[in-house]
Amino acid sequence: MNSSLKHMLRVVFVFFVLTIIYTVILGTVNSRAQNKNDRRVKQTVQVKKEKPVVEQIDWRKSSESKPYPDWTSHPNAWVRVSLKTQRVYIMDGQRQLYKMYASTGSGGSNATPTGTYHIQAERGTFFYNAESGEGARNWVSWKDHGIYLFHSVPTDQANHIIKSQADKLGKSAVSHGCVRLSLPDSKWMYDTIPEGTKVVIDND
The number of distinct structural domains making up the chain is 2
Shared-domain flag, residues 34 and 126: no
Shared-domain flag, residues 94 and 144: yes
DSSP string over 164-194: HHHTTTTT---BSSSEEE-HHHHHHHHHHPP
Tell me whether strands 148-152 and 179-181 are parallel, antiparallel or unpaired. parallel
Report the side by side order of strands in the sheet with 179-181: 123-129, 134-143, 148-152, 179-181
Shared-domain flag, residues 42 and 79: no
Expressed as residue numbers, the domain containing 146 is 71-202
Question: Does residue 91 sit within a domain?
Answer: yes
Give the whole-angstrom CA distance, residue 40 versus residue 64. 41
Active site amino acids: 151, 178
Question: Does residue 53 sit within a domain?
Answer: no
Question: Does residue 57 sit within a domain?
Answer: no
φ/ψ of residue 53, rounded to 5 = -75, 125
Q: Which residues, including other chains, have CB under 8 Å from residue 151's CB and lie 6 or more apart?
A: 127, 136, 137, 138, 139, 140, 178, 179, 180, 181, 186
Is pLDDT above 80 for 165? yes
Shared-domain flag, residues 11 and 85: no
Is pLDDT above 70 for 146? yes
pLDDT of residue 51: 64
Question: Does residue 62 sit within a domain?
Answer: no
* 28-62 pLDDT tens trace: 545 565 655 555 545 544 556 666 666 789 999 99
Question: Does residue 65 sit within a domain?
Answer: no
Shared-domain flag, residues 180 and 98: yes
